[in-house]
């Protein structure tokens, strides 16, 4: 059996990421930090162990969220000892399907729930947590 490879990159192509093997998990987040970072109503990512991921090209980061310094394309994040590869940055769409949805309390009222996924009003592992701990935030 051939090992899965997930290639991703920014809009201009300067920042590239390649992840090998199966992700630890794949999910969607509606927290305000993720929304602000992506400029979208939710964020989708696959989480990999750092040893599964290779990053090439220039990058900058803000609180563990990495982007291309040329085009500003958001590609990956680092948190809780995992690399979060943004599904929107993948070269080939429709290869990974989210299995859970976080921060449903922040979901837009017009956006229907993804009923085939596990639902969490806040965090997956800690319902009392303030959100993904990417640093201090007023937006969760």
Which pLDDT band holds residue 1 (cuts at 50, 70, 90)?
low
Domains along the sequence of the chain with CATH: 5-119 (3.90.1590.10)
Is-contact 48 82, C-beta < 8 A? yes
* pLDDT one-digit tens code per residue, 23-72: 999 999 998 888 888 888 899 999 999 999 999 999 999 999 999 999 99
Residue 137 has pLDDT above 60, yes or no: no
How far apart CA 139 and CA 27 sit, in angstroms, is 20
Is-contact 94 23, C-beta < 8 A? no
Which pLDDT band holds residue 130 (cuts at 50, 70, 90)?
very low
pTM of the model: 0.82
Which pLDDT band holds residue 135 (cuts at 50, 70, 90)?
very low
């Amino acid at each position: 059996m051939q090992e899965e490879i997930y290639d991703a990159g920014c809009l201009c192509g300067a920042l590239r990421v390649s992840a090998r093997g199966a992700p630890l998990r794949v999910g969607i987040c509606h927290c305000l930090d993720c929304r602000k970072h992506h400029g979208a109503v939710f964020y989708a990512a696959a989480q990999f162990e750092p040893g599964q991921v290779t990053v090439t090209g220039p990058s900058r980061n803000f609180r563990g969220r990495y982007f291309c310094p040329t085009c500003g394309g958001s590609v990956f994040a680092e948190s809780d000892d995992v690399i979060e590869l943004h599904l929107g940055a993948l070269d080939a769409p429709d290869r990974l399907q989210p299995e859970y949805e976080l921060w449903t309390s922040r979901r837009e009222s017009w956006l229907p729930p993804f009923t085939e996924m596990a639902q969490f009003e806040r965090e997956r592992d800690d319902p009392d947590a303030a959100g993904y701990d990417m640093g201090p935030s007023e937006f969760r």
